[in-house]
Amino acid sequence: MDISEVRERIVAAADELYNAKGIQAVGMDELRSVAGVSLKKLYAEFPSKSSIVMAVLEHRHKSWTEGLDATVQQAGGPRERLLAIFDYLAGWFCQDSFRGCGFINSFAELGAISPDVAEYARKHKESFQEYVARLAGEAGAPGYLAPQLAILAEGAQTTAAIAGTSDAAGQARQAAAVLIDAALTAD
Amino acid sequence: MDISEVRERIVAAADELYNAKGIQAVGMDELRSVAGVSLKKLYAEFPSKSSIVMAVLEHRHKSWTEGLDATVQQAGGPRERLLAIFDYLAGWFCQDSFRGCGFINSFAELGAISPDVAEYARKHKESFQEYVARLAGEAGAPGYLAPQLAILAEGAQTTAAIAGTSDAAGQARQAAAVLIDAALTAD
DNA sequence: TTGCAATGAGAACGATCGTTCTCTACTATG
DNA sequence: CATAGTAGAGAACGATCGTTCTCATTGCAA
């Protein structure tokens, strides 16, 4: 078993478990069991639980961002690319494993007692805002549109997570279309 | 010291502490110390920590809903009442103690392992959605407007919490105005 | 075969948590 | 004054957590 494969298995198992049950509710022994590695290997790979948490956040950021960009790239024009953000959300919300944005959740759970977690969550959201701003810029929209769309996307995530209804993405998409068209015709 | 005053002090202290540090990060001893009651009184009033959590959620729901309604009632017309939602959010975000919606946070922290917490968070959001729907109905707006505004409000909360910028309320308010006007002229 | 380094399973440890129990001191009524 | 009852401070308890340690076992090189 390769050493980097061990890392991947640990991070993948931690990602699933932390998403499903919350970070603090998952002990190292349960993680060891699900990942299928010994406790010694686990601590040889990561110095502490908090370092695993940070690795999970990095992994989440990478896969989420890549998934979003893949969906956006498939869309036709600049306007459709902005709307594709919400198509990506819709597909995400439909997954059985969806239990809200992992960054919002980890921020809520650990943000107040772990500056690292708080900062990483902030950077993830900042990166998303910049991504939306770039798409909006390519569409020729005024600067105020991107924060509005980002807020819609955030709201769709928490609404879908708590209410358990996945149509929040569709409602957010319709609202986004209105905001986009209003912004594009306002010049 | 009246017995109901003891309850209030416990719930008030728990509300502050849970909001500031997260629920799981606050032990019963710290709560006892801040509330200024003995551990015996604490357990005479509440059978367990989870019952305190539920009492805090009830208290939060009541004060948040009342505060929102008070702000809304001060607004002039139906359209202004819808926008007043975001004025209430703006004032909330500016408070030093603001650290995100307590229901989103408690859902993220305990929703997966406590059905009671998950259900209460869902009911709180449901109640907010119904409130927005009532205001939108009084404004003569079509049915799709209220979920859109609710999503905007949710998104403003998490954006303000994580990014730490309180202007998410203003951005959401501007987006809400666009959505409201578009919905009201769409008939 | 023999010795050695590495591995795995799980016990052990210290800390902390929620909860209960003990014991002391005070209060109030006869 | 005496005594029964109450309340407070904090020790104690069992459970669980993150982390480390032990030790038997394995695979491999000489």
For tokens 């979003």, name the residue.
A68
* Contact: B108, A113; criterion CB under 8 Å: no
pLDDT of residue A153: 98
Low-confidence ranges of chain A (pLDDT < 70): 1-3, 187
pLDDT of residue A164: 84
B 154-183 near A (Cβ less than 8 A): 154-159, 161-164, 168, 171-172, 174-175, 178-179, 182
CB A101 within 8 A of CB A157: yes
pLDDT of residue B165: 84
Low-confidence ranges of chain B (pLDDT < 70): 1-3, 187
Q: CA separation (Å) from A170 to A107, A131, A160, B13, B31? A: 26, 20, 11, 40, 43
Q: Which residues touch strand C (CB under 7 A)?
A: A 1, 37-41; B 24-29, 39-40, 43, 48-50
Distance, in Å, from the CA atom of B163 to the CA atom of B99, rounded to the nearest integer, reads 11
* Contact: A175, B148; criterion CB under 8 Å: yes
Following DSSP, what letter does each residue of chain A receive, concatenated?
Answer: --HHHHHHHHHHHHHHHHHHH-STT--HHHHHHHHT--HHHHHHH-SSHHHHHHHHHHHHHHHHHHHHHHHHHHSSSHHHHHHHHHHHHHHHHTSTT--S-HHHHHHHHHTTT-HHHHHHHHHHHHHHHHHHHHHHHHTT--TTHHHHHHHHHHHHHHHHHHH--TTHHHHHHHHHHHHHHHHHT--
Mutate to test the interface with B, among A154, A159, A167, A174 (most CBs of B within 10 A): A154
Domains of chain A: 1-46 (1.10.10), 60-184 (1.10.357.10)
**Total CB pairs under 8 A between chain A and B:** 151
Q: Percentage of residues in chain A with pLDDT exceeding 70?
A: 98
pLDDT of residue B32: 97
For the record, the structure tokens of B78 come out as: 């139906």
- ipTM of model: 0.93
pLDDT tens digits, one per residue of A141-151:
999 999 999 99
User: Burial level of B133, CB count in 10 A (0-12/13-18/19+)?
Assistant: middle
